[in-house]
Structure 1
Amino acid sequence: MARPSIGAQASRLARDLPLGISSTSSRIPKLVYGTAWKKDQTADLVYLALKTGFRGIDTAAQPKHYDERGVATGVRRAIGEGIIKREDLFIQTKFTSPAGQSDIAPYDFNAPLADKVHQSVQSSLANFTIDGQEAYLDSLVLHSPMDTIQETITVWKTLETYTPHRIRNLGISNTTLPVLQALFNDMSVKPAVVQNRFHNRTGYETDLRAFCREQKIVFQSFWTVSANRHLLQCSPVREVAQKVGVGAVAAYYSMVLGLGGTTILDGTTSEHHMKEDLEGIEAVGVWAEGQGASDWASALSSFKKLIGEL
């Protein structure tokens, strides 16, 4: 089956998700380009991802594992060449605690916690300043809960001061359900995204994802392929890949997206795989909404059972 190109009217499976509790104007693509560990290739790979069709970028103010400045360089190049406008791009970065930093960080290690947050955010806004435009971030994620709930609340309340204009949405990564529930219940600005590992050691975050769906929080999956090679070979993924004529990764990504309220961090460095992933989930979506509707429903049901989501 020939794979359709991605167009303005994307299938529901590939369509952007609304983001945030109170604002439906902010949206996040189903595939977000992940930039961890790209090092000196970061700028070129971000530019390539945007040129290929990605419209979401994830990074962090954590020089130990990310080159946020390189990400911004790739973004500015794509905007400068007219490939994309800033308003059509979803940019997400993170505040990382001192425990997650090397000796180089975007803040003074001796500063009070709230000041660390301000320094990190200002550094990120400076990196993503586009000529003649006020810089803003579509999402800023707390990289992980702090050592205590009080420190986590301090960071969150400091981030809230930038919403809704300089930071459009707030999120948290590497979190447990109780911490997420506490933030959702107690904070003025509710979490809009949760970025967690998707693997069997955490039961594929079934309970946490259920809470996210209930509260309209977008779940961002990472380690989606690297921690789940066995799922690439499972029967429902193979069935969808064969019937639609797409690769195993695209079929598998489609299954994860089919769980609902989910986006995926895709960090491939291959232009071929970038195109294959973007076009593949669109092709599966078109098939699932048309002639393959019954087969898709059956395959998705089987996939849910495999990961314990009944």
Structure 2
Amino acid sequence: MARPAIGAQASRLARDLPLGLSTTSARIPKLIYGTAWKKDQTADLVYLALKTGFRAIDTAAQPKHYDERGVSAAVKRAVGEGLIKREDLFIQTKFTSPAGHNHITPYDLNAPLAEKVHQSVQSSLANFTIDGQEPYLDSLVLHSPMDTMQETITVWKTLETYTPHKIRNLGISNTTLPILQALFNDMSVKPAVVQNRFHNRTGYETDLRAFCREQKIVFQSFWTITANRHLLQCSPVREVAHRAGVGAVAAFYSMVLGLEDTTILDGTTSQTHMEEDLEGIETVGVWAEGDGAADWASTLSSFRHLIGES
């Protein structure tokens, strides 16, 4: 059975986040369905995620690791069946530098850099064109900084020409804090999202996330489970799982979301896990806002300390 999208009536923990620097009233769900490495299963899995209740999808114009056309096929199927409306979805894709591609690319490798960006964006817009509607992307992320800051600026300024109508928000992935600060300080369109790995080798991005919170930039966490299996067994997560009556993954996701202005890329291929993740963070949220408020505050404080966040 299809679950309703997490939205305005959900608990605070599960409620969609506003994109504070957007020129539109865009909001982003707390759980984003990640589509990397799904290959020929992409269309079926994205459709399943939408049917289960996900309302945000992350992909990339990078055929090496993503099937953007498969994602768009699933979106068109869901819209065509009346399962969802395009305006109820948050669709995010990426521009990937030549170094991130194999021999299959969405642009001419011999074209100037700005033209590469245009060709990539146009291919993504074409993929997500719904009959009778003007195509747009809720977010487009620079997959990683370019080789030089000047090239990064060239890409960013080219992407700016599509805002705010064709592209509603811009973001960057796999970035360092200095590059993020430079984009924020120097560019006309500020980064609305940052998508980085969440793991201990980067100190759980404590400083970068602090900057994001200060500037109302949404931090998108990925590698959240893969790199943190040990945290699934930590005391705060076990306590939340026990007291709220949810599984370890839902409890852990809830703790990460509790770090504020944070969303999570969730790439599960299991419908059961999709349901457990969506329902679990809602269950924790209801508990945390009710009888479990004091316990939630205490365990969240312990979790912050555990990952080095004061």
TM bucket (normalised to shorter chain) is: over 0.9
TM-score by length of 1: 0.98
Aligned residues of 1:220 and 1:265 also touching (Cα < 8 A):
yes
The residue aligned with 2:80 is 80
Report the counterpart of residue 131 of structure 1 in structure 2: 131
Instruction: Quote the Cα distance in structure 2 between the aligned partners of 1:110 and 1:257.
Output: 42
Closer/same/farther in 2, CA of residues 5 and 40 from structure 1, 3 Å limit = closer
Distance in 2 (CA, whole Å) between partners of 1:81 and 1:269 is: 22
8 Å CA contact 1:18, 1:24 repeated in 2: no
- Contact kept, 8 Å, 2:6 with 2:29, in 1: the verdict is no
The DSSP-based 3-state class of the residue aligned with 2:145 is coil
Partners of 2:208 and 2:187 in 1: CA distance? 18
Once structures 1 and 2 are overlaid, which stretch shifts more, 289-298 or 15-24?
15-24
Instruction: Give 2:298's aligned residue.
Output: 298
Q: How does 1:283-294 map to 2 (within 5 A)?
A: 283-294=283-294
Per the TM alignment, residue 99 of structure 1 is displaced from its structure 2 partner at its CA by: 0.2
In structure 1, how many angstroms separate the alpha carbons of the residues matched to 2:149 and 2:199?
Answer: 25
CA distance in 2, matches of 1:116, 1:203: 34
- Looking at structure 2, the residues matched to 57 and 109 of structure 1 have their Cα atoms a distance apart, in angstroms, of 27
Residue 281 of structure 2: aligned partner: 281
Please give the secondary structure, in 2, of the residue aligned with 1:182: helix
* TM-score normalized with structure 2 length: 0.98
User: CA, structure 1 residues 71+5, in 2 after alignment: closer, same or farther (shift >3 Å)?
Assistant: closer
Is there any run of 5+ residues in structure 2 with no aligned partner, and where?
none
**2-side partners of 1:294 and 1:62: how far apart?**
45
1:17 matched residue in structure 2: 17
CA RMSD of aligned residues (A): 1.2
Change (3 A) 1:100 1:238: same
Q: Distance in 2 between matches of 1:192 and 1:55?
A: 18
Alignment of structure 1 residues 156-195 onto 2, 5 Å? 156-195=156-195
Q: State the partner residue of 2:262.
A: 262
- Percent identity (aligned): 87
1:29 aligns with 2:29: yes
Q: Distance in 2 between matches of 1:89 and 1:5?
A: 9
User: Cα–Cα, structure 1 residues 5 and 80, in superposed 2: closer, same or farther, change >3 Å?
Assistant: closer
> 1:8 deviation in Å?
5.4
Letter in 2 for 1:143: H
- Decide whether the 8 Å contact of 1:220 with 1:262 is kept in 2: yes
Q: CA deviation at 1:21?
A: 1.0
1:32-68 CA deviation, whole Å, 9 max, x = no partner? Answer: 0000000000000000000000000000000000000
Contact kept? 1:61, 1:95, Cα under 8 Å: yes
Superposed displacement of residue 296, structure 1: 0.1
Matched, 1:63 2:63: yes
Match of 1:141 in 2: 141
After the TM superposition, which segments of 4 or more aligned residues of structure 1 sit over 6 Å from their partners?
A: none
- For residues 24 and 156 of structure 1, the distance between their equivalents in structure 2, rounded to whole angstroms, comes to 19
Once the two structures are superposed, what CA deviation does each residue of 1:213-252 show, in whole Å capped at 9, x if it has no partner? 0000000000000000000000000000011110100000
Paired AA for residue 116 in structure 1: K
- For structure 1, list consecutive stretches of 5 or more residues without a partner in the other structure: none
Paired positions, count: 307
Q: Is the 8 A contact 2:19 2:192 kept in 1?
A: yes
User: Is 2:213 aligned against 1:213?
Assistant: yes
